[in-house]
Structure 1
Amino acid sequence: AAILQQLREEGVADMNKELTWPILPQRIAVISSPSAAGYGDFMNQIQNNSYGYKIYTVLFPAAMQGDQTEQSIIHALDRINRHEELFDGVVIIRGGGATSDLNSFDSYPLAVNVAQFPLPVITGIGHERDDTVIDMVANTRVKTPTAAAEWIIARMHEADTYAVNLSHTISSEVRNRIDREKQTIQRTASTLPLLIERLILGEKHKTGLLTQQIKLALRAVIDSERNKLDHTEKTVRLLSPQSLLERGYSLTLHDNRVVKSVAELSPGDTIETIFADGKTTSRIEKNRTFENKIKNIYG
């Protein structure tokens, strides 16, 4: 109790308990006596587990009873600590024995080493009713070496079961997602013809409106050009010689050329006078009366 109180006051009593084991604790450093029956039980359970899990162990030999127990285990912990990255956790196990043999596991130096060890520690000292100080500061305490092996196997099986369940869950979710996507595709496929039909009808309607607009525009252009032609036709008609003749004017030709002045004519010339309703031929005579008539005609 005094040792535990000292460890609590130093703030290290629960340090190892606060460490988390890996999901798959496959690399285990074992501190035990190679000849201990408990070590044999532990290895038999690990190597012949019913699930066939592969668990790698490395033995760090140590005296598990007698005066050398404390320093021997601390030395083994130091060796493991130098290769910390190679292991997932530490198991300290021994077989049965007299209760007096547990005194070495109640020492402060050993307890403070276990409490502050950077890897989680399992203790399986081999006594059902007796708890040692290192049992109380270790991450996990079991009664026997066989129980320590079963704890590791059980954790492996827990992870294995979780992985299997997760695999089933993922497979189920994937199947459900595929089914949902299939339904979405089917719904889209069933509505696609209607959508295409609506799109085609919409485009036909747009095309019809555009055609109508083009027709109206062309009709407007044609009407405008027709009006222009009518106006031009009226203008041409008003300015044509025939229109002038119909208004009472006449046209005089000499040698198929228009006579614009009396000075262009000489006695004896034959002229042609064109009226609106016909034409007549005349000869120029040299007399004043005729000249006067010509002058009267042409002003």
Structure 2
Amino acid sequence: MAAEATTETGRVQIVEVGPRDGLQNEDAVLSVAEKIELIDRAVAAGLRRIEAVSFVDPRRVPQMAGAEEVMAGVRREPGVSYIGLVLNRRGLDRALAAEVDEVNVAVPATDEFSRRNQGRTVEEMLADCAGIAKAAHEAGTPLSVTVSTAFGCPFEGETPPERVVDIARRAADMGAVEIALADTIGVGVPRQVTDLVARVRAVAGTARLRCHFHNTRNTGYANALAAHESGVTVLDSSIGGFGGCPFAPAATGNIATEDLLYLLHRSGVHTGVNERDVAMAGIWLGSRLDKEPPAMLGKAGGFPR
């Protein structure tokens, strides 16, 4: 499998979310050692930003237990940044003590999803986020904000783009260095992506834009390409295509890192990641989860061979 296309038309940075979003909805719970091996495989393949852990209550999300142990066991290589998801100040304190390189806060765009997923309204989450942002800044740790259910909510239906824009503007005002638009349940389409990216870019200031897509309705890869063509240079994906949200009905996997790499590389986009190695990691992860990876590249192989 070719790792890169020969004619470069742009660059995209991949944020590997498999160790966090990829595992949180699976029945199998990986050991700390297996989580570390997954992360090590991602780094060996060339991925340089890894959402490695989530500092949430393991009683609610048992798949995310052992975050501190995982961070203590990963190899700290130059140029590799490990991200920890936090939802409150306690989570931030844990993340800072574990010496993550970045913290990410998820702020849903709809109240019902926010209450079910995080036990807070959107306004309450934004207030919490402001406190987290201040403390992260004082600690010298970069903060990103993910606007979840940005393209649609399983409980409230269509998400008004104005609501997403308002959250993004407030995140930028808090000092977020990156704002991610997340299609948590995989309902977005390319035209919606293009429109929302343009709206958010107008209020994001100096914050980078990132996009996070699920392939629930087979639009995730088209959406990723639309985001790239709209100027987004950072995309989330998950090794093997595993993932989903335990608090969102029928929210199936993230777009697969290996399949996204094939799409980007064949389109002339540079990523610096070896798609063959990622595909092998996806097969390995499937064996640990006792589940066939949704990703296609490990089955079909690359082209030309």
TM over 0.5: no
Higher gyration radius (CA): 1
Which structure features the higher share of helix residues?
1
Q: Provide the TM-score with structure 2 as the length reference.
A: 0.28
